[in-house]
Chains A and B, each alone.
Chain A
């Protein structure tokens, strides 16, 4: 019985870590830069495929790939923001119009990135095996690669949280999130900060992609699925809040794990029931203002 409970809880936390990791970047992009980035999952896909290529062709350890994927995807995100969204922000009539317009632009990006990925890697499902051995916790058994993912997710989340809370740039980002108008007045280059912010969101997605590719098979069309998970998690947890993303992720993970144990057919139904109930109870998410 205790083993069963441990089984269910740990499985939920492992899943939750993955969900949180997927969501943190989007939380930043939407919470601060106000871009409802429906192409978020495509950045995850890019991270996963770069990792796959490095591992299968050059034998590079996926954990080492984190150092390569993160910056690569960061640059892509940063450049995209400067090229598309900075301009869109000034040309849109209102913040609401910007949200709509940026969503359309993101759909365009989704199409472009997915198509390019299919041209480069083909549409096939791909995967590799890494750290695929069991780890025993007082009788409950788990996969090593998922545990590593959880640890990295927590570390990445914590580092980023400290970065936002303690550094000058982090404070600038938070100021921009609260009030873009006055942030500009107190000497923050708002366009630069927002672009960095979008880039950091992409970076998190890239790292998430690397870690996900250790446990899941990947294909160029996988992005949207993760975008949807990310959207749900950030709305559950509260926009722009890193701890919120983790809380949201863990809630989803635990609920999924408990329901899968009882009736697997209802696992996804349970996600959305929880999501909708929580939203009705707390209309701005658990840690939202």
Chain B
């Protein structure tokens, strides 16, 4: 009885905090237009990439370096269809194309594990990049494309909506039997297969769902870039960023990657603008120190702090 009231109280607090954050985020453009919206859009983009990366890689333990491929597919969708279709449709198509690509890749990579899976996904990014580059240069005779732009507030709201849908999806997956099955794959794939879980199908679907959101994010972000070429769209750095942000934040809880991506992006922007000639040095040191002292990411730290505080509270009562 005591426990249930405690959890329901905690749940209410969490919902209230969530609601306040949502309202705050939704109204930001009203009272703080200008650069805040631009910065928040970019933070949201990284959050979307990181959270969707965690949907697949978090529970299964497969480190995917394919985000840049799916993001880039979204970017190109935006460049190719942006002038003929309304933006929300383009975003949906961008997501769907990425989804299908991920289904195909997922079906192909069944046998690969560990580093071999990691490198396959990375090779995929480079393969698509170089193929699109060759295609554009030799077949269509161009290498760059202009993307129709929309105003910053629209980009922000689209990213926010995508984030909202993603968060809901991630939450539902975690609570569902699907999520549990993914967890068991991560713990022991062979054992999971023996208990009758269709390992292949589940992995592929999770991979495709995460790819959908990456593609959508790419389609939205492209409108901010105005001009793209294959090397910009399929920038390999975008494959590494979600991984780093997720590890930095910690993958145990849903809020881990969100906090990780937010702090990472903000910190980087801050250092770049204050210390343009030393920012990599400072950023690098922070990364090494953080990983040395926070092996479970920020989530681990928060949980430990929380535990200490609550222990102290109980000690006094």
Contact = CB atoms under 8 A, between A and B. Distances in A.
| In-complex A–B contact (CB below 8 Å) | yes
Interface of A: 30, 36, 38, 84, 87-88, 91-93, 96-97, 99-101, 103-105, 107-116, 118-119, 228, 231-232, 235, 239, 265-266, 268-269, 271-273, 275-276, 279-280, 283-285
Interface stretch (B15-23, B81-89, B126-134, B155-163): B126-134
A142 B248 CA distance: 48
A276 B120 contact: yes
A93 B300 CA distance: 12
Contacts of B119: 231-232, 235, 275, 279
Interface of B: 61, 63, 108-109, 111-113, 115-116, 118-120, 122-124, 126-127, 130-131, 134, 137-138, 236, 240, 243-244, 247-248, 277-281, 283-288, 291-292, 295-296
Contacts of B288: 84, 105, 108-109, 112
A118 to B, nearest CB: 8
B292 A115 contact: no
Given A30-B115, A231-B122, A275-B123, A104 B130 contact: no
A289 to B, nearest CB: 12
B138 A101 contact: no
B48 to A, nearest CB: 20
A273 B127 CA distance: 7
12 contacts: A87-B292, A91-B295, A93-B295, A103-B247, A104-B248, A107-B287, A109-B288, A119-B281, A228-B122, A275-B119, A283-B112, A285-B116
Contacts of A269: 127, 130-131, 134
Question: Considering the complex of A and B, which 4 residue pairs feature the smallest CB-CB distances, nearest first?
Answer: A111-B284, A108-B287, A272-B127, A112-B284
B242 to A, nearest CB: 12
Contacts of A105: 287-288, 291-292
A276 B117 CA distance: 10
A112 B291 contact: no
Nearest to A108: B287
B62 to A, nearest CB: 10
Contacts of A108: 283-288, 291
Given A88-B292, A232-B123, A284 B116 contact: yes
A272 B240 contact: no
A174 B68 CA distance: 36
Contacts of A113: 284
Contact of B292 (A30, A91, A279): A91
Contacts of A273: 127
A91 B137 CA distance: 49
Contacts of B123: 232, 272, 275-276, 279
Contacts of A285: 116
A115 B131 CA distance: 32
A93 B243 CA distance: 18
A161 to B, nearest CB: 22
B130 A268 contact: yes
Contacts of A284: 116
A27 B285 CA distance: 26
Contacts of B277: 118-119
A272 B234 CA distance: 15
Nearest to A235: B119
A36 B115 contact: yes
Nearest to A96: B61
A92 to B, nearest CB: 5
Contacts of A283: 111-113, 116
B295 A92 contact: yes
Given A105-B291, A269-B127, A112 B285 contact: yes
Nearest to A80: B288
A125 B108 CA distance: 41
B281 A97 contact: no
Given A110-B284, A111-B280, A268-B126, A279 B291 contact: no
A284 B115 CA distance: 9
A125 to B, nearest CB: 18
A280 B284 contact: no
B118 to A, nearest CB: 8
Given A112-B288, A232-B123, A103 B280 contact: no
Contacts of B127: 269, 272-273, 275-276
B116 A235 contact: yes
B227 to A, nearest CB: 22
A100 B61 CA distance: 10
Contacts of B124: 272, 276
A263 to B, nearest CB: 8
Contacts of B278: 115, 119
B60 to A, nearest CB: 11
Contacts of A107: 240, 244, 284, 287
A112 B134 contact: no
Given A228-B122, A235-B119, 6 more contacts: A111-B284, A112-B285, A112-B288, A116-B281, A235-B116, A276-B127
Instruction: Please indicate which of the listed interface residues A30, A107, A113, A265 has the most CB atoms of chain B within 10 Å of its own CB.
Output: A107
A84 B277 CA distance: 25
Contacts of A232: 119, 123
Contact of B137 (A103, A231, A265): A265
Given A232-B119, A235-B119, A265-B137, A111 B295 contact: no
Nearest to A283: B111
Contacts of B131: 269
A109 to B, nearest CB: 7
